[in-house]
Amino acid sequence: MLEKLFHLKANNTSVKTEVIAGITTFLTMAYILFVNPKMLSSIGMDYGSVFVATCLAAAIGCFIMGLIANYPIALAPGMGLNAFFTYTVVGQMGYTWQVALGAVFLSGVIFLFLSLFKIREWVINSIPMPLRLSITAGIGLFLGLIALQKAGIVVSNPDTMVGLGDLSKHGPILAALGFFMIVALSYRKVTGAVLISIFVITAIAVTLGDTQYHGVFSLPPSIMPTIMELDIKGALDIGLVSVIFAFLFVDLFDTSGTLIGVTQKGGLLDKNGNMPRLGRALLADSTATMAGAVLGTSTTTSYVESTAGITVGGRTGLTACIVGLLFLLCLFISPLAQMIPIYATAPALFFVAVLMTSGLAQIDWEDLTVAAPVVTATLSMPLTFSIANGIAFGFISWTAIKLISGRWRDLSLAMWVLSLLFVIKLGFFA
């Protein structure tokens, strides 16, 4: 049955190899089980319900990717977009989390539409690569600021906006220790470096009395507080258009980059360098996003951590299905998730920030018409606390600078249209 479903022999793999690959991938991305509920519960969502939604959304995405697309790529609620969901859409803009879930659902529907009608390639190819890299880097800086804030290292200051926190407290010290541990373990190629750091810092926190041990296993919490609570009608508000597009663009760029990067790593591209069954893979991503919104979590997307499983031999969808099964098993460890302090997950956020900003190395810094919009988009995300604003400023500045510099031929039709829409949004619906 497994041979018929996943074509193991044709992909030069075995059940044993795929199981090991699945476990490896899961260990590298399981930190989302502890980070996502912590983040979303800070805006009033039920912690246990979000934990269950995170497990189920990840499992659904992995199973669809494995069974329909037959790729060793795992999915889960994405870092960056969950922060945007929590701290910008709900925290700063003042929308309810139900409306934010509606926006996530609508972005998934649009993603599905773009994939089915093969408009995705046109959209992505119309947007310059440096701008795409700046959006990823900006999200990284956004996550980095949130991580420092949650660790207590950066605090608000009435005179300078931000300032240094009290470094004598447990939080900042243990958060810094956790980050150092993740980087060192990752450098030494230790599988599950982020997960190990979270558990070590949590164990220290229990010893210090910062958190209480409540056991490890229990029956899954109720998902009723969040399931089917999304407000699609509220998400159709004109002020949320840029938010929906922010969810869509980031998921679009992130998914496309991840799919190509991971399949290239595994030698799964065809002789022309194209990805077979791309439509099915995109279907898995968009469907998982919609399912996650219905269940009660932010955008679900493909994880670049899937390369860890490919490195140890994962080549088929069986790897993704193993990851999905492990996420389902995690439904029974909610007590463990609930006792993890916020400063134990902050290092994971900061580490992801480091990885996301690395793309800036590919920017042509000698060309000011490229460098200026890139810096504008990258810095405006953390400083306005909004991925949507960063994308808008990046598009507008890219178009305006190219136009005034006499390089208007560098601009695609999509850049003209999107820049105009962002000007209208910021000018009249900010």
Say how far apart CA 83 and CA 248 lie, in whole Å.
15
**Does any domain span residue 305?**
yes
**Does any domain span residue 356?**
no
Give one DSSP letter per residue of 70-82, joined into a string.
-----EEEPTTHH
81: its two tokens: 């977009």
**Predicted local distance difference test score (pLDDT) of residue 116:** 85
Domain of residue 132, residue span = 2-350+364-428
**Predicted local distance difference test score (pLDDT) of residue 202:** 96
The residues that bridge with 155 in the sheet, in sequence order, are 163
Q: Give how many domains the chain has, as a whole number.
A: 1
Say how far apart CA 285 and CA 299 lie, in whole Å.
9
Could you tell me which of 194, 200, 141 has the C-alpha nearest to residue 308? 194
- From first to last of its 430 residues, the chain has per-residue pLDDT tens of 889 999 999 999 999 999 999 999 999 999 999 999 999 999 999 999 999 999 999 999 999 999 999 999 999 999 999 999 999 999 999 999 999 999 999 999 999 999 888 787 777 778 899 998 999 999 999 999 999 999 999 999 999 999 999 999 999 999 999 999 999 999 999 999 999 999 999 999 999 999 988 889 999 999 999 999 999 999 998 888 889 999 998 898 888 888 888 888 888 888 877 788 888 999 999 999 999 999 999 999 999 999 999 999 999 999 999 999 999 999 999 999 999 999 999 999 999 999 999 889 999 999 999 999 999 999 999 999 999 999 999 999 999 999 999 999 999 988 999 899 899 888 876 6
Under DSSP, the state recorded for 69 is: I
CA torsion sign for 310, 311, 314, 319 is negative
Where do we find the tokens 């991305």?
29
Q: What is the pTM of this model?
A: 0.91
Three-state secondary-structure class, residue 132: helix
**Predicted local distance difference test score (pLDDT) of residue 299:** 97
Say how far apart CA 265 and CA 277 lie, in whole Å.
17
**Predicted local distance difference test score (pLDDT) of residue 268:** 87
Give one DSSP letter per residue of 341-376, joined into a string.
-HHHHHHHHHHHHHHHHGGGGGS-TT-HHHHHHHHH
Under DSSP, the state recorded for 256 is: H
**Does any domain span residue 115?**
yes
**Predicted local distance difference test score (pLDDT) of residue 270:** 83
φ, ψ (nearest 5 deg) of residue 299: -50, 130
348: its two tokens: 């994971």
Where do we find the tokens 């982020």?
194
**Does any domain span residue 355?**
no
**Does any domain span residue 34?**
yes
The residues that bridge with 75 in the sheet, in sequence order, are 302
Give pairs for 149-158: CB < 8 Å, separation 24+.
150/175, 150/342, 150/343, 150/345, 150/346, 150/349, 151/175, 151/176, 151/342, 151/343, 151/346, 151/347, 151/350, 152/343
**Predicted local distance difference test score (pLDDT) of residue 430:** 62
Say how far apart CA 298 and CA 247 lie, in whole Å.
9
Residue type, 24: T
Say how far apart CA 352 and CA 346 lie, in whole Å.
10
Separation in Å, CA 297 to CA 21, 36, 84: 26, 8, 12
Helical (H) or strand (E) element with 163: strand 161-164
234: its two tokens: 């509220």
Could you tell me which of 379, 409, 374, 377 has the C-alpha nearest to residue 392? 377
**Predicted local distance difference test score (pLDDT) of residue 118:** 76
Say how far apart CA 344 and CA 208 lie, in whole Å.
13
